[in-house]
Amino acid sequence: MFRSLITLATALLMTLPTLAAGLQHVEPPHWWTGMRDTSLQLMLHGPGIADATPQLAPYPGVTLKGSHRADSPNYLFVDLDIGPNAAPGDLTLTLADTTLRYPLRPRAPGSAERQGFGSKDAIYLVVPDRFAQGAALGNAGMKEGVHRADPNGRHGGDLAGLRQHLGYIAGLGFTQVWPTPLVENNSAQYSYHGYAATDFYRIDPRFGSNADFGSLVTEARAHGLGVIQDVVLNHIGAGHWWMADLPARDWLNHGPEGHYQETHHARMTLQDPYAAPSDRQRFTDGWFVPGMPDLNQRRPELATYLTQMTLWWIETYSLSGLRTDTYSYSDRDFLTRWSARVMQEYPRLNIVGEEWSPYPAVVSYWQRGKHNHDGYVSYAPSMMDFPMNGALLGGLTEADGAYTGLQRLYEGLAHDFVYPDAGNLVLFDGNHDTPRLFPLLKHDVGLTKLALAYLATTRRIPQLFYGTELLMDSPTERDDGRVRADMPGGWPGDPVNAFTGEGLSEQQRDMLDWTRRLFSWRKTATAIHDGALMQYAPMDGVYVFFRYDSERTVMVALNKNDKPVELVLSRFGERLTGQRSATDVMSGRRLALGERVTLPARSPLILELKR
């Protein structure tokens, strides 16, 4: 059913309305019948269009509710109701001497019931510009061209390159791929990362076309991979086409020029009962940098625009989920309505928000089902687990103490009581904004394996940053250009090639094979997907926990010591009673479970037991 959904979506990629004379933008470019919320607001942009009075040619099931302008004379907002009995076809809107034929499409079978990513999945994060080049598109008429020697420039990775290596990602055992934003970022510099949109409805032509993105999703699905889209609701790029002619004076926070105020990133002001209102406003309304204007989602038309834009990408390209950038920086009330609308249309989809805080109480505030002290309600099912990421790094690098070292992992999970659904959080080794895992773990392969073993087996959705499986390096302080280094083998002539294995060191080969075995096993490990968790307080540099369901038990023992440890098994009788043997997941060997088991130095031991 889902494959036919994708095929239909791909066939509709080019069904954008033909712009009538005088119209420069019609957004959303098309819509659907059968949506659960029947409202649709079109943003029309063209010289003097605000003075037009639209007329809708009779169309069964569709009603023209009205229209209005904002401050600019060049925008008109047209409100339609696409009733449940409306059939697919082309609406005809007449505006003075302009006639617009607007496409209404059928929803693909099963679209509303699509299953989003969840605990059965493992996510692979890529920065497309830095992953692989397949088409050598150059600057494609955009302001910034390719300068691969510049760590902060565009390097030329594209959708064709990503498509060529989907088999590599799936072969590692991953089931979801999350590319950083792909929409147009037509800036003179730093355009490669994608977080400063200049057109919300267009794939950046240096990556490829909208049709290429549809082909990527289709081919990913054939490899058993879902695609998660990175959505930015908080801000745009200074080169966005709105900036030459803002629809309304309050479209941006602090105005387009002369009133710039940078956010101070004081995210706790939103939960702080003692926070000054001016501090709260500066956090949400302040800009990141002058090149990223901050959007005012309190403006109703903008809130509707961002919501419909999100739904358009999900429905058009059959996405399996959303990652939402800088989540808490957007207006809180808007986020409630936005997340509710997305989940109304796709009740089984998943949305993971970015809230970069080390405190579980702050992160849990934004998760669906949380009963907050101030009554705030969110409908986002998941959040990025920054607290546990910090606990993982500290747990493996600090000396063990009452509140340090492995105790951080134990107490981190013990705080799961603050989350309405801790198992739906996304735990990551690192991302495009953090130093890479291997250098943070002091270039210690053993500690890196411990980290990935924990990532793959604890009660979370795991996410790996591309290249971790190759022990890719970076500075230990923030350095975005070098953290987002090129994937070896992604460009013709690369002397080292991750995809073929050519030029890899013995250490890299071992890590790559080890990662592949771990995540390939996880794909069928039902006790890891949905099982319960029982953990034992760390002792003597060893941390042990169990994942279990009615059929299987998985024992995970993390030995941080630089020498082997004889682990006495009687301590774990609640979970091991009656068990005489187990399978070592990583080696495939059967082990007898006597009084003790040997834990190799600086290594995880993952044992699978069947009832």
Distance CA 472, CA 312 (A): 36
Taking only the tens place, the pLDDT of each residue in 323-368 is 999 999 999 999 999 999 999 999 999 999 999 999 999 999 999 9
Residue 561's Cβ-count burial label (10 Å; 0-12, 13-18, 19+) is middle
In a domain, 511, yes or no: no
User: Who's near 39: CB < 8 A, 6+ residues apart?
Assistant: 65, 79, 80, 81, 82
pLDDT at 455: 98
- The answer to whether residues 163 and 198 belong to one domain is yes
pLDDT at 492: 96
- The answer to whether residues 143 and 225 belong to one domain is yes
- Residue 102 bridge partners (DSSP): 91
- The answer to whether residues 253 and 154 belong to one domain is yes
Q: Which of 105, 140, 170 is the last residue of a domain?
A: 105
- Please give the positions annotated as active site: 325, 354
pLDDT at 306 over 70: yes
pLDDT at 567 over 50: yes
DSSP letters for 387-441: HHHHHHHHHHHSPP-SSSTHHHHHHHHHGGGG-S-GGGSEEES--TTS--HHHHT
- The answer to whether residues 100 and 42 belong to one domain is yes
pTM of the full structure: 0.95
pLDDT at 15 over 50: no
Taking only the tens place, the pLDDT of each residue in 383-439 is 999 999 999 999 999 999 999 999 999 999 999 999 999 999 999 999 999 999 999
Distance CA 82, CA 229 (A): 26
Residue 448's Cβ-count burial label (10 Å; 0-12, 13-18, 19+) is buried
- The answer to whether residues 449 and 536 belong to one domain is no
pLDDT at 96 over 90: no
In a domain, 518, yes or no: no
pLDDT at 256 over 90: no
In a domain, 269, yes or no: no
- The answer to whether residues 38 and 91 belong to one domain is yes
Taking only the tens place, the pLDDT of each residue in 104-142 is 999 999 999 999 999 999 999 999 999 999 999 999 999
Q: Read off the amino acid at residue 448.
A: T
How many domains are there within the chain? 3
More confident of the two residues 226 and 610: 226
- Residue 445 bridge partners (DSSP): none
Distance CA 483, CA 475 (A): 7
The CATH number that applies at residue 600 is 2.60.40.1180
Confidence of residue 19 (pLDDT cuts 50, 70, 90): low
pLDDT at 260: 79
Cis amide linkage into residue 28, ω under 30° from 0: yes
Distance CA 30, CA 26 (A): 9
In a domain, 268, yes or no: no
In a domain, 425, yes or no: yes
In eight-state DSSP terms, residue 137 is -
CB 429 within 8 A of CB 451: yes
pLDDT at 493 over 60: yes
pLDDT at 575 over 90: yes
Taking only the tens place, the pLDDT of each residue in 199-254 is 999 999 999 999 999 999 999 999 999 999 999 999 999 999 999 999 999 999 98
Taking only the tens place, the pLDDT of each residue in 62-71 is 999 999 999 9
pLDDT at 562: 96
- The answer to whether residues 246 and 343 belong to one domain is yes
The CATH number that applies at residue 81 is 2.60.40.10
Q: Read off the amino acid at residue 510.
A: D
- The answer to whether residues 464 and 563 belong to one domain is no
- The answer to whether residues 218 and 333 belong to one domain is yes
- The answer to whether residues 70 and 182 belong to one domain is no
- The answer to whether residues 397 and 486 belong to one domain is yes
Distance CA 292, CA 400 (A): 42
Write down the number of H helices and E strands in the chain. Answer: 17, 26
Taking only the tens place, the pLDDT of each residue in 167-187 is 999 999 999 999 999 999 999
User: What integer best gives the mean pLDDT of the chain?
Assistant: 95
The helix (run of H) or strand (run of E) holding residue 194 is none
- The answer to whether residues 93 and 211 belong to one domain is no
**Residue 75, domain extent:** 2-105
pLDDT at 257: 56
In a domain, 541, yes or no: yes
The CATH number that applies at residue 216 is 3.20.20.80
In a domain, 423, yes or no: yes
pLDDT at 611 over 90: no
Taking only the tens place, the pLDDT of each residue in 22-50 is 799 999 999 999 999 999 999 999 999 99
- The two three-digit tokens of residue 99, written as one number: 């006639």
In a domain, 405, yes or no: yes
